[in-house]
Structure 1
Amino acid sequence: MAKQSIFGRISQLAKANINAMLDSAEDPQKMLDQMVRDYTDNIAEAETAVAQTIGNLRMIEDDYNEDIKAASDWGNKALAASSKADEFRSAGESSNADKFDSLAKVAIQRQMQSEGEAKTAEPTISSQREIVEKLKTGLDAMKSKRQELVSKRDELIARAKSAQAQNQVQEAVKSIDIMDPSSEVGRFEEKIRREEARVRGAAELASSSLDAQFNSLEDLGEQTEIEARLAALKGAKATPSITPGA
């Protein structure tokens, strides 16, 4: 019963649908860790049980081989005793011949007993060998499944770390978003823009002042020319005109 229970548990674990179990899990990584631990423990327990089953099989096989050897030995002894009885009977020694015939019968009886024990053990040995092979196959399947679990767990952890890294990068990008007026970069840009505007205003103001000065100079030149022309006009009137031919 214990052997069948072990075999049933091995089969159940080996056939477990990992993906379906992960789909229903709240925390797949923790579940995989627990499954790996469970598989490791069950494999160790199953290995112990299988080793014991194999040991029991080997004991039965040893007993079987001993029975076969004993049957052969008793058969040889029966043959030797019968041959000795024939020799004594040929020599006319009936009492010794009967004695060895009796020994031959005892040997034959022991031979038959050993043969019977060996024959009885044969179905048990066959059944145990089949169970051992199934247990070995189940163990191999469990070990493969455990490796699958480990690979799945490692893949999941790698994907989780990758997702975490991507999230950190995205958060970092958000924190330095130059279009965000509330960020340090945004405030610094605004400060530079104000300074640039001030410089442009000062330049525009300086340019306006220079134009005004040139305009003043132009006005002054025009007034001077007017005064000069007026003086020339007045001078022309004060000079007597000379009559031609006088």
Structure 2
Amino acid sequence: MSKQTILGRVTQLAKANINALLDQAEDPQKMLDQLIRDYSDNISEAEQAVATTIGNLRMLEQDHREDVDAAAEWGNKALAASRKADELRAAGSTAEADTFDNLAKVALGRQLGSEQEASAAEPTIAAQTQVVDSLKAGLTSMKEKLAQLQAKRDELVARAKSAQAQNTMLDAVKNIDVLDPTSELHRFEEKVRREEARALGKGELAASSLDAQFEALDDLDRRSEIDARLAALKGRAA
């Protein structure tokens, strides 16, 4: 994939509105997990693209410096050959002077070629520098966005766990509500009350039976007293 395509994707992801994406998601946590994976993958790919682009840029810059240095070196050689030609011509050695002038021309031709190569590389170097700067900025923004995504996910997971714990607690409280007629505790309380009522009934029944026995005993004593008095009356009559 070309670095221009990667640059476009990095820019798009760096500008993405996380909150808007989450608002549209049916399952925000799953979307966050997917976004984290996408961002991580694209960051890794962008880092490779940045490294490759920087490497290419450094090679261009190195070639440019070599062309600039070569142009300067050929300029010095042309100057030296031209001065030698002037010395020889002043000394009357015209043929040798022409030879050094020709060498000076060759050196100047090489200088011109190096200068042209250096000039031709400068727009490319400027463009590549701009691409590198954009990729670096986008990469930094994506890393910041990834940190936001991870923090958002952690917050969402914590909120989900808190809500689940709260619901569990509320369900537990509801299950032990003594006012709930369907609760086990209420049924147990009713059973205890019935047992207590039965015990009270048995107590009352036992008490009434005992009273009856005492009443029967009192009645027996009364009849015995009456019988004794009747016997006494009969004795006096005789």
Question: Could you say which TM-score interval applies, normalised by the shorter chain?
Answer: 0.7 to 0.9
Structure 2 residue 170 is matched with structure 1 residue 170: yes
Q: Following the alignment from structure 1 to structure 2, what is the Cα–Cα distance between the partners of residues 55 and 36?
A: 28
Which structure would you say has the larger Rg?
1
What amino acid is the match of 1:125? Answer: I
Aligned residue in 1 for 2:63? 63
Q: Following the alignment from structure 1 to structure 2, what is the Cα–Cα distance between the partners of residues 51 and 36?
A: 22
Aligned residue in 1 for 2:185? 185
Q: Following the alignment from structure 2 to structure 1, what is the Cα–Cα distance between the partners of residues 207 and 163?
A: 59
Aligned residue in 2 for 1:21? 21
- Offset, 1:215: 8.1
- Offset, 1:122: 1.4
- Offset, 1:199: 3.1
Q: Following the alignment from structure 2 to structure 1, what is the Cα–Cα distance between the partners of residues 88 and 214?
A: 165
- Offset, 1:217: 9.4
- Report the TM-score when normalising by structure 1: 0.81
Aligned residue in 2 for 1:11? 11
What does residue range 128-143 of structure 1 map to in structure 2 within 5 Å?
A: 128-143=128-143
Structure 2 residue 167 is matched with structure 1 residue 155: no
- Offset, 1:53: 1.5
Q: Following the alignment from structure 2 to structure 1, what is the Cα–Cα distance between the partners of residues 107 and 182?
A: 108
Aligned residue in 2 for 1:30? 30
- Offset, 1:18: 0.8
Q: Following the alignment from structure 2 to structure 1, what is the Cα–Cα distance between the partners of residues 75 and 217?
A: 151
What amino acid is the match of 1:84? Answer: K
Structure 2 residue 128 is matched with structure 1 residue 96: no
Q: Following the alignment from structure 2 to structure 1, what is the Cα–Cα distance between the partners of residues 199 and 2?
A: 94
Question: What are the superposed Cα offsets for residues 166-200 of structure 1, whole Å, 9 maximum, x if unpaired?
Answer: 22222223333333333332222112111222333
Give RMSD over aligned pairs: 3.0
Q: Which ranges of structure 1 fall in alignment gaps of 5 or more residues?
A: 224-246
Number of equivalent positions: 235
Q: Following the alignment from structure 2 to structure 1, what is the Cα–Cα distance between the partners of residues 173 and 98?
A: 111
- Report the TM-score when normalising by structure 2: 0.83
- Identity fraction in percent: 66
Structure 2 residue 110 is matched with structure 1 residue 110: yes
Q: Following the alignment from structure 1 to structure 2, what is the Cα–Cα distance between the partners of residues 148 and 37?
A: 13
